[in-house]
Amino acid sequence: AQSVAQPEDQVNVAEGNPLTVKCTYSVSGNPYLFWYVQYPNRGLQFLLKYITGDNLVKGSYGFEAEFNKSQTSFHLKKPSALVSDSALYFCAVRDGRNDYKLSFGAGTTVTVRA
Amino acid sequence: DTAVSQTPKYLVTQMGNDKSIKCEQNLGHDTMYWYKQDSKKFLKIMFSYNNKELIINETVPNRFSPKSPDKAHLNLHINSLELGDSAVYFCASSHPERGTEAFFGQGTRLTVV
């Protein structure tokens, strides 16, 4: 069975500073990894994904994530955070190509202060 | 055009009632999902359908009955609503074999009083 862990409930950073949101996963096959963002009273918006290829994945709004197979991690990063990045971030995983179950982490609330 | 649309957006109802939430996707995806987001914002998969066939049923009470009349639609019917059913329900679609990400609807906030 697959699982996802987001070890931090909250991340607080100052505007302009680097932002990192941590994610680790557990699967039996090849991981398909995703990051989503949710703004208050909204649905989930896709940010980026890792399926195969380069370990560093670039996504929307200046976000990127690095796949680390040995550490089973897929941390989300942004070099310079904006106040508008304040939201709830979810990491998600599928266990391979033919897995129809997308499992989510518990979410990390990011607050960027001006 | 909205990729994944679900209706209604808000639903307030009394305990014991039966209600339905509708979902439609125009992305041509084969797989559709229902997720429940509780008050702590935790997202839990309820059902997954592929080509109208039920693939995943995550120990959801049988008061919840999904129905997929075709690949573009996945509706959720809930019988005998309970207070604990209050949550936000999200519909999503994807094409897992192609490695696509899941696209989510805007959610239906269900409040049982």
The reported pLDDT for the residue numbered B1 is: 66
Class of domain A3-113: mainly beta
**CB neighbours (10 Å) of residue B2?**
11
CATH topology of domain B4-112: Immunoglobulin-like (2.60.40)
Tell me the shortest Cα–Cα distance from B17 to chain A, in angstroms: 25
**Is the peptide bond prior to A7 cis by the omega test (within 30 degrees of 0)?**
no
Question: What is the C-alpha to C-alpha distance for residues A38 and B37, in angstroms, rounded to an integer?
Answer: 12
CA–CA gap between residue B93 and residue A68 (Å, rounded): 27
Task: Give A45's contacts in chain B (Cβ within 8 Å).
Answer: 104
Domain boundaries, chain A: 3-113
How far off is chain B from A32, nearest CA to CA, in Å? 8
CA separation for the pair A37, A79 (Å, rounded) = 17
Contact in structure between B23 and B68 (CB atoms under 8 Å)? no
- A57-61 contacts at long range (C-beta below 8 A, 24 or more positions apart): A59/A35, A61/A85
Q: Do A102 and B45 touch (CB under 8 A)?
A: yes
| Residues A57 and A67 sit within 8 Å (Cβ to Cβ) | yes
Do the chains contact at A44 and B106, CB–CB below 8 Å?
Answer: no
What is the residue-level pLDDT of chain A in tens, covering all 114 positions?
789 999 999 999 999 999 999 999 999 989 999 999 999 888 899 999 999 889 999 999 999 999 999 999 999 999 999 999 999 999 999 988 778 889 999 999 999 999
Contact B104 A44 (CB under 8 A): yes
Q: Which of the 8 DSSP states describes residue B40? A: T
Look at A60-69, B10-19, B71-80, B90-99 and tell me which has the smallest mean pLDDT. Answer: B90-99
The predicted pLDDT at position B52 comes to 87
Burial class of residue A53, CB neighbours in 10 A (0-12, 13-18, 19+):
exposed
pLDDT of residue A42: 86
pLDDT at position B28: 93
Q: Which two tokens stand for residue B31?
A: 């797989």
- Give B-chain residues touching A49 at CB under 8 angstroms: 99, 101
Residue that has been written with the tokens 């302009």 in this structure: A16
- Taking the CA of residue A100 and the nearest CA in chain B, the distance in Å comes to 7
What is the length of chain A?
114
Give, as one character, the DSSP assignment of residue B72.
T
Q: Do residues B32 and B22 make contact, with C-beta atoms less than 8 angstroms apart?
A: no
B25 pLDDT band, cuts 50/70/90, is very high
Residue A52, both tokens: 């195969």
- Domain segments of chain B as ranges: 4-112
- Model confidence pLDDT, tens digit, residues B75-86: 999 999 999 999
Nearest by CB to residue B48, choosing from A90, A92, A101, is A101
